[in-house]
Amino acid sequence: MGTTEVIFWFLTAVAVFSALMMVFSKNPVHSVLWLILVFFTISGHYLLMNAQFLFIVNLIVYAGAIMVLFLFVIMLMNMEGDSEPRKNQWMTLAGIISGGTLMLVLVAALKDTGTQRQLVQMKEGQIGLIHHLGMVLFKDYVVPFEISSVLFLSAMVGAVIIGKK
């Protein structure tokens, strides 16, 4: 087992464990911190596949900006010690069973679809580099890029209007 496999399995185990901890921890602040760890491991997967642009964008946008926004909102509401009442245990059990069943169906349906022999290119390849992606983004995808700036503007205006109401 080479270094790539070791890193892959380590990142996978940490990702699944922290995702479970994110769902099952009572304190919302702990949930946010576990989710940041999940985003770091997903960024590690991007780096392992040599998608360097997405690696750094995922770190800056998700683990940086969005999670800080979540933390700010939680601190604004002053509910750090707030543990939600567990009224209905059966609903929790039903939710866990539904999620596990969906997982079972997905794995059973996707394990024999002819993708077993397909390999993912690891550690090399030029398509994920910032130089190449930037050239394509500003040559072929200029119009979606500009439209996304309009989307950002409208989201900003919408957030301010909702917040002032």
Partner 1 sequence: MPVNYYIFLSAALFCIGIMGVLTRRNAIVIFMCVELMLNAVNLLLVAFSKMHHLRALATDAQTTVGTDAQLFVFFIMVVAAAEVSVGLAIIVMMYRNIHSVDVNFLNRLKH
31 touches 25 (CB < 8 A)? yes
Q: Is 75 in the site for partner 1 (CB under 8 A)?
A: no
By CB under 8 A, residue 158 contacts partner 1: yes
Exposure class string for 62-88: b at 16+ Cβ within 10 A, else e: bbeeebeebeeebeeeeeeeeeeeeee
Using DSSP's 3-state secondary structure scheme, residue 117 falls into coil
Distance in Å, CB of 82 to partner 1, minimum = 8
If binding means CB under 8 A, how many residues of this protein chain bind partner 1? Answer: 82
Q: Cβ of residue 81: shortest distance to partner 1, in angstroms?
A: 13
CB 11, min distance to partner 1, A = 9
Angstrom distance (rounded) from CA 32 to CA 154: 27
Kindly state whether residue 38 participates in binding partner 1, applying the rule CB under 8 A: yes
- Which positions from 77 through 136 interact with partner 1, judged by CB under 8 A? 77, 79, 84-85, 91-92, 94-96, 98-100, 102-103, 106-107, 110-111, 115-122, 125, 127-128, 132-133, 136
Tokens at 97, concatenated: 């069973």
CB of 58 to partner 1, least distance (A): 7
Taking CB under 8 A as the criterion, the residue among 14, 22, 37, 59 binding partner 1 is: 22
What are the Cα distances from residue 158, in Å, to 71, 92, 106, 151, 155? Answer: 21, 34, 37, 10, 5
Note whether 54 binds partner 1 by CB under 8 A.
yes
